[in-house]
Amino acid sequence: MRAMTLRAMLSSLLLFSAACAGHPGPTSPSAPPAPPAPPVPPVAAEPTGPDAPPVPPATPDPSSRAGIVCSGHEQLRLEGKVVDASGAAVTASGHCRVHIVHSTLKGSDGGVIASEQAHVTVENSSIDGGPRAIVISDQATIESRSPTWRGRIVASGNKSHVLDLGDNEWSR
């Protein structure tokens, strides 16, 4: 008996939907129809392949001086990036994992800031943090292999680690 009731409800709903399909809707009959959208002009395709012009190298956007921020359980990979930030170049917190490779990072107030169990790996990159290349706290880890660092290390709290995996260059 219940199956019949559902069938009856479904067929009523289908009849109602079909009846509403031809309804003009909430617009008044005296309103003029909307004008058609203008045609979209064709876009010239950029050449690709061996005859294409070379792509210029990446440069920082002068209007945007924000650094890279990673938080929570995010995972970021920065490869071949150029960052010139008015604050810290990279800020990682809250279990975030950042892998920086072949990049040039500059921050006026810190190169890499890591806290709250964040994990940052830096390879073959240049990090200029102004006065502070690394700021690390709250069980964060920074692994470093073959980068050039400018600035000093500022560490606070317990169980934070900066791991030198070799071929690091440091200057203050």
Fill in the amino acid letter for 151. Answer: G
pLDDT at position 75: 95
Fill in the amino acid letter for 114. Answer: A
Q: State percent of the chain over pLDDT 90.
A: 56
pLDDT at position 92: 96
pLDDT at position 113: 96
pLDDT at position 37: 60
Q: pTM for the full model?
A: 0.63
The residue among 41 and 89 whose pLDDT is bigger is 89
C-alpha span between 2 and 115 (Å, rounded): 60
The residue extents of the domains of the chain are: 68-171
Dihedrals φ, ψ of 59, to 5°? Answer: -130, 150
Residues 113/91, Cβ–Cβ less than 8 Å:
yes
Which range, 12-16, 46-50, 167-171, has the best average confidence (pLDDT)?
167-171
Q: What is the mean pLDDT of the chain?
A: 78
pLDDT tens, 11-28? 554 444 444 445 554 444
Residues 170/149, Cβ–Cβ less than 8 Å:
yes
pLDDT at position 18: 45
The answer on pLDDT for 52 being more than 60 is no
C-alpha span between 100 and 59 (Å, rounded): 17
Structure tokens belonging to residue 99:
């892998």
Question: What is the rounded average pLDDT of the residues 105-133?
Answer: 95
Question: What is the rounded average pLDDT of the residues 102-112?
Answer: 95
Residues 94/119, Cβ–Cβ less than 8 Å:
no
pLDDT at position 26: 47
Q: For the ranges 13-22, 110-119, 145-154, which has the lowest average pLDDT?
A: 13-22
Alpha carbon distances (Å) from 87 to 91, 107, 131, 133: 10, 5, 12, 12
The answer on pLDDT for 96 being more than 70 is yes
